[in-house]
Amino acid sequence: MEASGGERPDGQRPGVPDGLTQPLPADRQGSIQEIDYEARHYINAARQLVSSRFVDPAEAGREVVRGEPIRKRCSLYLPAGYEAAPADARCDVLYLLHGVGGDHREWLDGSGQAGGRPLLAAILDRLIAAGDIPPTIVVFPNGRSAVDWTDRSFNTEGTNMLGFYYFDYELRHDLIPFIDARYRTKAAAASGVPGGDGQGGRSHRALAGLSMGGMQALNLGLGGFRHDSAVFAGGASRYGNGLVPTVPAPGMTDLFSAVGAFSNAPTSSGGQRLGASIRAAGFAVRQLMLVCGDEDLLVQSSFEEALDGLKEAAGERLGSLLREIVPGGKHDFGVWTYAAYRFLLAAFGTSGSTGN
C-alpha cells in the first residue's frame, strides 16, 4: 500500500493535535534518563573499524582491527509506570536518531517545551495514556560511531563524520543488546533468549531519524551506501560537501520492521538501491515513512531520489509506504516533531491509525 499526505481539508498546515501537546500531571509522565554503555564497534583515529567480532574488511570498506571499548551515552524515555509495572509488562522500542550537528539530546531539547517538559515527551505521554500506542521506550543514541563521538562539528574529513556511516555495527552489536538486556522490551522476550537475538522481536522495534539520522535510517537501516571523504576515498563529491559513496551497508531489516526518514540528508541512497536491498534481505518492512517539508530546499532532491523506484524494487517485501510532503515545512522541528508523531502511530498504533 502506498499513501500520501499533505494539506488538511480546512487548508491548515498539518501538525500534532493540540490536545497531545499539553503535559499530563507528573504522576502520569514518563521518565527521561541518560545512560552510559560500552561501544565495541566504532571508527578509531586511524579511520579503521574497531570490532569485537570478525567483520570482512571488504564488507566494511576499510581495515578492521581489535581495540578497547569506548563509553558512549544515550538518552532514554521510559513510559509512565514502567518501574512499578510487573515483570511481564514489556514495551515496544523506537530508536530515534539526530541530525548532523546534534547529539542524543537533540530530539528532547530541540522539539520545544510543553509546560517545562520536552514536547516530544509530552506527546509520548499522551499517546500512551490514551491507548493510541502501547507503552513504548524511546532510545535517543548519539549516532557517531567514532572515538570522537562527542565532536558535533561539520567536518567531512573527520572521523566524527565517518562514524555516522558505521553506526549500524554499534547499534546491532552494542546498543540493542544493551537495551534488550537491561530493559523489559517485547523484542527481547520474542527472541526467546536473554538479551534478544533481534530477529524474533523485529515487529516490536522501529528505527527513525531526522536529516542525517534520516539518512542513517535509510542507508544503514534498509541498506544503502556508506560514505567517506573524497580526500581519503578518492573521486569527486556530487553533493558538494566532499563526501563520496564507498561500500554498501548490509541493512538491518532483520532487526526493524518499521523505518522512518524525516528530511533525509543528501547522502541518502536512491530508491532503487534501497528497494533492492529490502527485497534481497528477505525480511518484510511492514511500514516505511518518508516526510519532508515543501520549503526544505536542502533535502528535497534527496527525499525524492530515495523514493524513486523504491516501491517497485522492493516488491512484496515492502508493506505500507507513506510519503508525506508538509506544506510550508522547512528543515526544522515543525516538520520533525509532526513526523515523529505520525511515525509512532504508523509503527506502533493500536488502531492502525497513521495520524490522518
Q: Is 189 contained in some domain?
A: yes
pLDDT at site 197: 41
Number of H helices, E strands in the chain: 13, 16
Domain with 42 in it: 2-348
**Residue 196 pLDDT > 60:** no
pLDDT band per the 50, 70, 90 thresholds, residue 281: very high
Share of the chain above pLDDT 70, in %: 92
**What pTM was estimated for this model as a whole?**
0.94
Q: Is 356 contained in some domain?
A: no
Please give the mean pLDDT across all residues of the chain. Answer: 93
**Residue 261 pLDDT > 50:** yes
Q: Is 355 contained in some domain?
A: no
pLDDT band per the 50, 70, 90 thresholds, residue 199: low
Q: Per-residue pLDDT tens for 285-304?
A: 999 999 999 999 999 999 99
Give me the sheet containing 70-78, strands edge to edge.
2-5, 318-326, 285-293, 258-262, 205-210, 92-97, 136-140, 70-78, 31-39
Q: Is 310 contained in some domain?
A: yes
Q: Is 140 contained in some domain?
A: yes
| CATH code: domain of residue 299 | 3.40.50.1820
Q: Which three cell numbers stand for residue 63?
A: 581495515
The DSSP H or E segment spanning 135 is none
